[in-house]
A and B are shown apart, each in its own frame.
Chain A
Amino acid sequence: GALVYQYPRRTICKSGTSMRMECQAVGFQATSVAWYRQSPQKTFELIALSTVNSAIKYEQNFTQEKFPISHPNLSFSSMTVLNAYLEDRGLYLCGARAGGRNYAEQFFGPGTRLTVL
């Protein structure tokens, strides 16, 4: 079956430091990967959409300078939160999809929960 793993599941960092989170797709080719953030008591916001061999598209209020993303192959993506502050805390979800096919399902990982001290 298709699965998406995320590492770490939970992390704590000091304010102003950076942390990297990873997303791995197993059982299918993750042509496109989306990164979402769920801030406390809020819904999921799309940060950026990454497609292999294409430019990464960031949503409004999110930038490459703050959330650099790497998507080097069809099974792996990573995102770094640079200079993390209190407002960056939350659950970061990776959604991976086999692109190029209509109706292909997006599979979500369990998320990386970021706490900023």
Chain B
Amino acid sequence: AQSVTQPDARVTVSEGASLQLRCKYSYFGTPYLFWYVQYPRQGLQLLLKYYPGDPVVQGVNGFEAEFSKSNSSFHLRKASVHWSDWAVYFCAVSMTSNTNKVVFGTGTRLQVLP
């Protein structure tokens, strides 16, 4: 069964600094990977998604992620963090490209210092 691990429950960065949120997945097939963001008291918004192809995918608001099959990873990056990025970020994996069923990681809470 597929699973997702986000090893960092909480990450704190200063505004303007670069960011990396880590995600490791476990799946023996071709994974379809997602990063979602949950702002305070809101639902989920899709940041970006990976379908087999270019390993670096661009998302909204300057976010990007890189798929690595050898490392089973899909880390999220941003060159310069803004205070509005303060939220919880979830990595997720799906078995196919044609389903609603995704398995979520436990989330990483990002705090941005002024």
Residues of chain A whose beta carbon lies under 8 Å from any beta carbon of chain B? 6, 32-34, 42-46, 49, 91, 93, 95-97, 99-106, 108-111
Instruction: Tell whether, in the assembled complex, residue B100 and residue A97 are in contact, meaning their CB atoms are under 8 Å apart.
Output: yes
CA of A42 to CA of B109, assembled, Å: 12
Contacts of B67 in A (CB 8 A): none
**Contacts A42-B106, A43-B90, A44-B90 given; does A108 touch B43 at CB 8 Å:** yes
Instruction: Tell whether, in the assembled complex, residue B100 and residue A95 are in contact, meaning their CB atoms are under 8 Å apart.
Output: yes
Contacts of A6 in B (CB 8 A): 43
Question: B101 in the interface, Cβ–Cβ < 8 Å?
Answer: yes
In the complex, residue of chain A having the shortest beta-carbon distance to the beta carbon of B32: A103
Give the number of chain B interface residues (Cβ < 8 Å).
20
**Secondary structure class of chain B's binding surface, majority of residues:** loop
Chain B residues 68-114 with CB under 8 Å of chain A are: 90, 97-107
B3 to A: closest C-beta gap in Å: 11
Residues of chain B whose beta carbon lies under 8 Å from any beta carbon of chain A? 36, 42-46, 49, 51, 90, 97-107
CA of A97 to CA of B100, assembled, Å: 7
